Chains A and B, each alone.
Chain A
Amino acid sequence: MSEVTLAELCIFAASEAFRGNGEVVATGVGPVPRLGASLAKLTHTPELMMTDGEAYLVEQPVPIGPRGDYKPKFAGHLPFSRFFDSAVWSGRRHAMVTPTQIDRFGQINLSQLGGTHQQPKTQMLGVRGFPGNTIYHPNSFFFPSHTPRVFVAGEVDMVSGVGYNPAKRVPGGNYSAVDLRVIVTNLCVMDFGGKDNAIRVVSLHPGVTFEQVQEATGFELERGDIVETALPGAEELAIIARLDPHNIRASVIKDNPPARVGQA
């Protein structure tokens, strides 16, 4: 068997974010989060719900990329036209997404960089559903390139998702469902379990040091009880390969490195 790749390690780590979540819609946006959610459903958390990536609920996660003869089998229907009432605003969802920026409060940005709101230097997608997702249901994040441009000093340029910044909280608002869970990157896994929900490193990928992670982050990180990030086993690797028959995962992290540094 070929060497486990860093992308596969990240998929395995992403799947752990969904462990024991119950009957909620597990949404992974992008190949690694989607494969992670699918792997979770096919291994430790079969009660998860998920869509075919469009509008139908499936009990067998749909492989990514061109499908050939494969036909998804639909078990239910969850179109955008019902998405807010059924999944988001009911809190019955856990999404893993990749914003453009994140700050020490867990505030995220997908909308614009630099300039002003009237004239941004770089216009991106817009806030999409981030404001609603973050105030109503659990969220996790995946970043294929852990750098200070992503993990920014100060605050994100446009706060598109709610974090744990007390200065942003209008008194009297209900923030009880704000629940940021896990951050998986090409270097490590972090959570929000530090002081006042500060971001802390909980596992380092093989061969990565805490100092390297800190160096790649624009704000100070806390240290959890750091362990080495677990590698997927043969069963998980086989499921990942089946769910990604075109090896799209190989294009996610630059140069598709192996999970263990120094092995190629």
Chain B
Amino acid sequence: MSMLDKRMTPAEIVGELKDGMTLGIGGWGPRRKPMALVREILRSDLKDLTIVAYGGADVGMLCAAGKVKKLVFAFVSLDAIPLEPWFRKAREAGQIEVLELDEGMFQWGLKAAAFGLPFLPTRVGLGTDLADLGGLKHVQSPYDDGEVLIAMPALKLDAALLHVNRSDWRGNVQLFGPDVYYDEWFAKAAARTYVSCEELVDQMEDHYPDTAQANVFERCFVSGVTHIPCGAHPSSMPPAYGWDMKAFKAYTDAAKDPGDWNAVKDRFVGADEAAYLESVGGKEAVAALPLPVF
């Protein structure tokens, strides 16, 4: 009997994505982003995407490249550079549709999708402009309290992209670092989830049986696995490496007048991942990036 093997190339993963799909991207701002898979999308002709993300440069780059039809977001930020420059340009040009949500509502919508529910009720959003702007509906408790709540619709994803610390061929993942954000819920909200990983092994139990608690979500939620060391660069991937603020600074400067993405994209995307990694100093340079201090 042959072993389950979900290994794919990045190009095969992007080949399974279609124009108009709703894509979830894991991580948080400039942290734990599957940037190599995002770069692979940027090298493709994929378009009209709905992107669902706690956004960082993933969102900025996809907006800059005109890949985004609609964005579902609570923020887009590079932390130390608070305002994501390319996202900002796209918004101020009125270039994208948006559904703006609170950070907590956002994960609530992923959970609704994960559980196959049409919505989950919440107080969050009441008293703000979110419901009116986003077309969010209210729902009343059928019990004696009769409380009126916002019905946060399920954020169903056609596919989710995540970058993890380790995986095996079957999609048994291990996630480390101080915070794994909502990667688990992106995986469960998606019809298909693709993970890139820093380290790939054939059978997890033969290599790392003592860290199985880091298996934040189970392999039935993983459709494809690809090995891309440094695949989160320029975002951080603790404990392996920190974010590359110098690279974020260059990316931010490139958005200034005239700020033409086509003229600068080669610097931030590269012809292929090997060329990109080479251009930022190779694996050694990425491994040497210090973890950020908050």
Tell me the residues in window 99-125 of chain B with beta carbons closer than 8 Å to chain A beta carbons. Answer: 100-105, 107-108, 123-125
Q: Would B178 and A129 count as touching, CB distance under 8 A?
A: no
Q: Would B28 and A126 count as touching, CB distance under 8 A?
A: no
**A52-77: contact bitstring with B at CB < 8 Å (1 yes, 0 no)?**
11111000000001110000000000
Task: State which of A55, A122, A131 has its C-beta within 8 Å of the C-beta of B102.
Answer: A131
B91 sits at the interface (CB 8 A): yes
Cα distance, A165 to B130, chains bound together (Å): 15
CB distance from A142 to the nearest CB of B (A): 16
Q: Would B94 and A127 count as touching, CB distance under 8 A?
A: no
Closest Cβ neighbor of B147 among chain A residues: A174
Q: Would B128 and A123 count as touching, CB distance under 8 A?
A: no
Q: Which residues of B contact A135 (CB under 8 A)?
A: 123-127
Assuming the contacts A132-B124, A160-B128, asked whether A170 and B100 have C-beta atoms less than 8 A apart, the reply is no
Q: Would B100 and A126 count as touching, CB distance under 8 A?
A: yes
Q: Would B94 and A118 count as touching, CB distance under 8 A?
A: yes
CB distance from B249 to the nearest CB of A (A): 18
Q: Which residues of A contact B180 (CB under 8 A)?
A: 79, 81
Q: Would A175 and B98 count as touching, CB distance under 8 A?
A: no
Assuming the contacts A81-B184, A118-B94, asked whether A128 and B75 have C-beta atoms less than 8 A apart, the reply is yes
How many residues of B are counted as interface, with CB atoms below 8 angstroms from the partner's CB atoms? 48
Tell me the residues in window 67-110 of chain B with beta carbons closer than 8 Å to chain A beta carbons. Answer: 73-77, 82-83, 87-88, 91-94, 97-98, 100-105, 107-108
Cα distance, A112 to B127, chains bound together (Å): 17
A195 sits at the interface (CB 8 A): no
B293 sits at the interface (CB 8 A): yes
Assuming the contacts A56-B178, A127-B100, A172-B148, asked whether A119 and B126 have C-beta atoms less than 8 A apart, the reply is no
Closest Cβ neighbor of B55 among chain A residues: A126
Q: Would A170 and B138 count as touching, CB distance under 8 A?
A: yes
Cα distance, A160 to B129, chains bound together (Å): 7
Assuming the contacts A134-B127, A159-B129, A170-B148, asked whether A119 and B93 have C-beta atoms less than 8 A apart, the reply is yes
A124 sits at the interface (CB 8 A): yes
Q: Which of A66, A161, A170 is most buried by chain B, counting CB atoms within 10 A of its CB?
A: A170
Task: State which of B82, B124, B126 has its C-beta within 8 Å of the C-beta of A125.
Answer: B82
Closest Cβ neighbor of A115 among chain B residues: B92
Q: Would B149 and A173 count as touching, CB distance under 8 A?
A: yes
CB distance from A170 to the nearest CB of B (A): 6
A7 sits at the interface (CB 8 A): no
Q: Which residues of B contact A111 (CB under 8 A)?
A: 100
Closest Cβ neighbor of B185 among chain A residues: A81
**A140-178: contact bitstring with B at CB < 8 Å (1 yes, 0 no)?**
000000000000000000111111010011111111001
A117 sits at the interface (CB 8 A): yes
Q: Which residues of B contact A172 (CB under 8 A)?
A: 140, 146-148
Q: Which residues of A contact B140 (CB under 8 A)?
A: 172
**B172-193: contact bitstring with A at CB < 8 Å (1 yes, 0 no)?**
0000001111101000000000
Task: State which of A116, A125, A131, A174 has its C-beta within 8 Å of the C-beta of B128.
Answer: A131
Assuming the contacts A129-B74, A132-B104, A135-B124, asked whether A123 and B91 have C-beta atoms less than 8 A apart, the reply is yes
Cα distance, A119 to B124, chains bound together (Å): 24
Assuming the contacts A118-B94, A134-B127, asked whether A126 and B75 have C-beta atoms less than 8 A apart, the reply is yes
B285 sits at the interface (CB 8 A): no
B133 sits at the interface (CB 8 A): yes
Task: State which of B28, B88, B98 has its C-beta within 8 Å of the C-beta of A80.
Answer: B28
Cα distance, A29 to B103, chains bound together (Å): 16
Cα distance, A119 to B97, chains bound together (Å): 9
Cα distance, A80 to B124, chains bound together (Å): 17
Q: Which residues of B contact A169 (CB under 8 A)?
A: 126-127
Closest Cβ neighbor of A105 among chain B residues: B127
**A95-117: contact bitstring with B at CB < 8 Å (1 yes, 0 no)?**
00000000000010001100111
Tell me the residues in window 11-29 of chain A with beta carbons closer than 8 Å to chain B beta carbons. Answer: none
Task: State which of A67, A115, A127, A162 has its C-beta within 8 Å of the C-beta of B127.
Answer: A162
A9 sits at the interface (CB 8 A): no
CB distance from B60 to the nearest CB of A (A): 11
B residues near A (Cβ < 8 Å) are 28, 73-77, 82-83, 87-88, 91-94, 97-98, 100-105, 107-108, 123-131, 133, 138, 140, 146-149, 178-182, 184, 293-294
**16 A-B residue pairings within 8 Å (CB atoms):** A55-B178, A66-B293, A67-B293, A80-B182, A81-B181, A84-B103, A123-B92, A126-B77, A127-B130, A128-B74, A129-B74, A129-B104, A131-B127, A161-B128, A168-B127, A172-B140
A residues near B (Cβ < 8 Å) are 52-56, 65-67, 79-81, 84, 88-89, 107, 111-112, 115-132, 134-136, 158-163, 165, 168-175, 178
Given contacts A81-B181, A129-B74, 16 further A-B contacts (CB under 8 A): A53-B293, A55-B179, A79-B180, A84-B104, A84-B107, A88-B104, A118-B94, A119-B93, A120-B91, A121-B92, A126-B75, A129-B103, A131-B102, A159-B129, A170-B148, A175-B127
